[in-house]
Amino acid sequence: EAGVTQFPSHSVIEKGQTVTLRCDPISGHDNLYWYRRVMGKEIKFLLHFVKESKQDESGMPNNRFLAERTGGTYSTLKVQPAELEDSGVYFCASSHSSRDRGYEQYFGPGTRLTVT
Protein backbone atom coordinates (compact mmCIF):
# COMPACT_ATOMS: atom_id res chain seq x y z
CA GLU A 1 0.00 0.00 0.00
CA ALA A 2 1.42 3.37 -1.01
CA GLY A 3 1.79 5.88 1.79
CA VAL A 4 1.00 9.57 1.86
CA THR A 5 3.06 11.42 -0.71
CA GLN A 6 3.87 15.12 -0.91
CA PHE A 7 5.27 17.23 -3.70
CA PRO A 8 7.64 18.95 -3.90
CA SER A 9 9.98 17.79 -1.17
CA HIS A 10 11.67 21.19 -1.11
CA SER A 11 10.69 24.61 -2.45
CA VAL A 12 12.64 27.84 -2.32
CA ILE A 13 10.77 30.97 -3.40
CA GLU A 14 11.09 34.69 -2.98
CA LYS A 15 8.86 36.79 -0.81
CA GLY A 16 5.74 37.77 -2.72
CA GLN A 17 5.72 34.73 -4.98
CA THR A 18 3.13 31.96 -5.02
CA VAL A 19 3.73 28.34 -4.12
CA THR A 20 1.42 25.34 -4.34
CA LEU A 21 2.04 22.24 -2.28
CA ARG A 22 0.41 18.95 -3.14
CA CYS A 23 -0.59 16.00 -1.00
CA ASP A 24 -1.78 12.60 -2.16
CA PRO A 25 -3.38 10.68 0.71
CA ILE A 26 -3.61 6.95 1.08
CA SER A 27 -6.25 5.64 -1.30
CA GLY A 28 -9.64 5.34 0.40
CA HIS A 29 -8.84 7.72 3.25
CA ASP A 30 -11.64 10.27 3.54
CA ASN A 31 -9.81 12.42 6.08
CA LEU A 32 -6.92 14.65 5.07
CA TYR A 33 -5.06 16.99 7.37
CA TRP A 34 -2.46 19.70 6.85
CA TYR A 35 0.07 20.65 9.50
CA ARG A 36 3.01 23.04 9.60
CA ARG A 37 6.21 23.20 11.59
CA VAL A 38 7.95 26.53 11.73
CA MET A 39 11.62 26.30 12.77
CA GLY A 40 12.03 25.94 16.50
CA LYS A 41 8.32 25.51 17.10
CA GLU A 42 5.97 22.60 17.49
CA ILE A 43 3.97 21.04 14.67
CA LYS A 44 0.68 22.93 14.34
CA PHE A 45 -2.61 21.81 12.84
CA LEU A 46 -3.82 23.88 9.87
CA LEU A 47 -6.97 22.24 8.56
CA HIS A 48 -8.97 19.07 8.08
CA PHE A 49 -10.87 17.82 5.05
CA VAL A 50 -13.50 15.12 5.05
CA LYS A 51 -13.65 14.07 1.43
CA GLU A 52 -13.86 17.38 -0.46
CA SER A 53 -15.34 19.42 2.42
CA LYS A 54 -13.39 21.55 4.86
CA GLN A 55 -14.35 20.20 8.25
CA ASP A 56 -12.12 22.43 10.35
CA GLU A 57 -9.85 25.23 9.14
CA SER A 58 -9.32 26.85 12.51
CA GLY A 59 -5.54 26.53 12.26
CA MET A 60 -5.09 28.39 8.99
CA PRO A 61 -2.91 31.40 9.81
CA ASN A 62 -4.46 33.94 7.43
CA ASN A 63 -6.18 34.38 4.08
CA ARG A 64 -2.94 34.05 2.13
CA PHE A 65 -3.36 30.30 2.57
CA LEU A 66 -5.87 28.45 0.42
CA ALA A 67 -6.44 24.71 0.62
CA GLU A 68 -8.49 22.65 -1.78
CA ARG A 69 -9.40 19.04 -2.22
CA THR A 70 -11.34 18.77 -5.43
CA GLY A 71 -12.99 15.37 -5.90
CA GLY A 72 -11.98 14.27 -2.44
CA THR A 73 -8.67 12.80 -3.56
CA TYR A 74 -5.47 14.83 -3.54
CA SER A 75 -5.21 18.20 -1.87
CA THR A 76 -3.31 21.38 -2.62
CA LEU A 77 -2.21 24.13 -0.28
CA LYS A 78 -1.46 27.43 -1.97
CA VAL A 79 0.38 30.29 -0.33
CA GLN A 80 -0.12 33.61 -2.12
CA PRO A 81 1.76 35.86 -1.65
CA ALA A 82 4.39 34.10 0.41
CA GLU A 83 5.97 35.89 3.37
CA LEU A 84 9.21 35.13 5.21
CA GLU A 85 7.32 33.75 8.22
CA ASP A 86 5.71 31.09 6.03
CA SER A 87 9.00 29.18 5.90
CA GLY A 88 8.81 25.78 7.52
CA VAL A 89 7.90 22.17 6.88
CA TYR A 90 4.36 21.45 5.74
CA PHE A 91 3.05 17.99 6.57
CA CYS A 92 0.03 16.22 5.21
CA ALA A 93 -1.67 13.29 6.91
CA SER A 94 -4.63 11.08 6.13
CA SER A 95 -6.84 8.74 8.10
CA HIS A 96 -9.58 6.30 7.35
CA SER A 97 -12.67 7.50 9.20
CA SER A 98 -13.97 10.72 10.73
CA ARG A 99 -16.18 9.01 13.30
CA ASP A 100 -13.37 8.43 15.75
CA ARG A 101 -10.68 11.07 15.98
CA GLY A 102 -8.46 8.52 17.64
CA TYR A 103 -7.88 6.76 14.33
CA GLU A 104 -4.25 6.74 13.33
CA GLN A 105 -3.13 9.52 11.06
CA TYR A 106 -0.57 8.53 8.44
CA PHE A 107 1.88 11.28 7.65
CA GLY A 108 3.75 12.20 4.52
CA PRO A 109 7.44 13.18 4.56
CA GLY A 110 6.64 16.87 4.38
CA THR A 111 7.48 19.75 2.06
CA ARG A 112 10.23 22.08 3.25
CA LEU A 113 9.33 25.61 2.17
CA THR A 114 11.91 28.36 2.31
CA VAL A 115 10.86 31.93 1.57
CA THR A 116 13.77 34.32 0.94
Q: Which residues are at the interface with other proteins (CB under 8 A)?
A: 3-4, 33, 35, 41-48, 55-56, 58-59, 91, 93, 101-102, 104-110
Number of helices (H) and strands (E), helices first, in the chain? 0, 11
CB of 73 to other proteins, least distance (A): 19
Judged by CB, which is closer to other proteins: 32, or 115?
32
Residue 38: Cβ-neighbour burial (10 angstroms; 0-12, 13-18, 19+): middle
- Which of 90, 88, 58 minimizes the C-alpha distance to 76? 90
E strand or H helix at 63: none
Total Cβ atoms within 10 A of residue 8 = 13
Judged by CB, which is closer to other proteins: 17, or 106?
106
**What's CA 32's distance to the chain center, in Å?**
8
Judged by CB, which is closer to other proteins: 7, or 81?
7
CB of 104 to other proteins, least distance (A): 5
CB of 81 to other proteins, least distance (A): 25
Judged by CB, which is closer to other proteins: 17, or 37?
37
